[in-house]
Amino acid sequence: MKNNYYIKQDRINTDKISASLMELPPFCTNFIYEIENNTSSLTRLGYTLDLRIFFDFISKYKFGIPIKEINFSHLEKITASDIISFLSYLSYYTYNEKNYKNNEKGKARKLASIRGLFKYLYNNDKIKFDVASKVTTPKIHEKSIVRLEVDEIIKILDQAETANDLTDRQRAYLKNTRERDVAILSLFLGTGIRVSELVGINIDNIDFESNSFKVTRKGGNQTILYFSDEVKIALLDWLEIRTLKNLPKTETALFISLQNKRISVRAVENLVKKYAKPASPLKNISPHKLRSTYGTNLYRATKDIYIVADVLGHKDVNTTKKHYAAISEDIRKNAANQVNLRVKNDK
């Protein structure tokens, strides 16, 4: 049975999609419905929001008419130069009286949304030309992977347990969240799951006899992952505290807030930063960096990129290779040192 948390998130996303489509030309609705069977609601929401920004730009700077009045004849007047101008505009822009900025990755995602729409309309004979396909994707500069070293892992867990380097206010707050926060950090560092996956875990998704738990991946697929005895202890310590809270039976979330509701993604991101700052002040640590830390350690232990890809839930192993190429180099260098030319190896 599908996790109720994800059903609720799908409904929220679907409502947001419907609201955004009301502001867009009718053909955008047909496009979003067309891709429904092959995409998640979160992906479709991203497409819809991207298109809303694009048509806001086009309506203001190209045609000078309301977005809803843009039709197929207008689309055929849009040139590749117009789309390139839009990508430049995204560097710093204002939408609904709020200021935004996009890096190469954000621009590439919005271009992908535009390409998807134009390709759909072209393939269905609604427009004569697919100009979006002519626009080159912005070059994305790969960032070095930020991860915690062994001593930093120890420090971040110690911060959650002792609060030695936290403020008085944070230390007082920790009295009510210590076991929960240690369990969250341990699960991140011990399994490499995404923050959205952690937030969605229910109590009945965990089996302590086999040290395993069920997680819902991107796209809604479920898989079984395993954790160590050290993570098990942290989870059991938290569950012991959780049982004392007299929660309603309807609250099935593993991790809850002080308001006795399922903890939010934003709250988890904030608690990770709170403990990571004193433990590693020069690194901007997020839940995703904890995921990278686990992936690094798993790769160094197994030297098997396919195992890492499977555990992290990467659909394409090339994604994993790209992220852990630097570690592959470390392994190759270490392997070179294992071969002695003038010194006899011990038998």
Rounded distance, CA 42 to CA 115, Å? Answer: 18
What is the domain class of 150-336 according to CATH?
mainly alpha
| Those residues with Cβ within 8 angstroms of residue 202's Cβ, 6 or more apart along the chain or in another chain | 3, 4, 5, 252, 253, 254
pLDDT reported for residue 307 = 86
Beta bridge partners of 225: 213
Grouping H, G, I as helix, E, B as strand and the rest as coil, residue 281 is: coil
Exposure pattern of 20-40 as b/e (b: 16+ CB <10 Å)?
A: bbeebbebbeebbeeeeeebb
Instruction: Name beta bridge partners: 216.
Output: 222
Burial class (CB in 10 A: 0-12, 13-18, 19+), 141: exposed
pLDDT, one tens digit for every residue, the chain (347 residues): 456 788 888 999 999 999 999 999 999 999 999 999 888 899 999 999 999 999 999 999 999 999 999 999 999 999 999 999 999 999 999 988 899 999 999 999 999 999 999 999 999 999 999 999 999 998 877 667 778 888 899 999 998 888 777 777 777 777 888 999 999 999 999 999 999 999 999 999 999 999 999 998 877 788 999 999 999 999 999 999 999 888 888 899 999 999 999 999 999 999 999 899 888 888 889 999 998 888 888 888 888 888 888 888 888 787 777 666 556 555 555 655 655 566 555 55
Phi, psi angle pair for 79, to nearest 5°: -110, 170
Give residue 91's Cα distance to chain centre: 22
pLDDT for 62 equals 95
- With contact defined as beta carbons under 8 Å apart, do 280 and 155 qualify? yes
User: Is there a shared CATH topology between the 4-134 domain and the 150-336 domain?
Assistant: no
Distances (CA, A) of 61 to 54, 126, 167, 209, 248: 11, 23, 50, 62, 54
223 sits in which H/E element: strand 222-226
DSSP state of 144: P
Residues facing 256 on adjacent strands: 262
Pick one of 3.40.50.300, 1.10.3720.10, 2.60.40.10, 1.10.150.130 as the CATH number of 4-134. 1.10.150.130
- pLDDT at residue 176 in the model: 83
Please report the pLDDT score of residue 315 as a whole number. 80
At 343 the pLDDT is 57
* CA-based radius of gyration for the chain: 24
Sign of CA dihedral 132, 21, 10, 53: positive
Task: Calculate the dihedral angle through the C-alpha atoms of 324, 327, 329, 333, rounding to the nearest 10 degrees.
Answer: -160
The number of residues making up the chain comes to 347
What DSSP string runs through 230-262? HHHHHHHHHHHHHGGG---TT--BSSB-TTSSB
* pTM over 0.75, yes/no: yes
Select from 44, 122, 51 the least CA-distant residue to 83: 51
Residue boundaries of the structural domains of the chain = 4-134, 150-336
How confident is the model at residue 297, as a pLDDT? Answer: 86
Asked if residues 195 and 218 have their Cβ atoms less than 8 Å apart, the reply is no
Read off the DSSP letter of residue 145: P
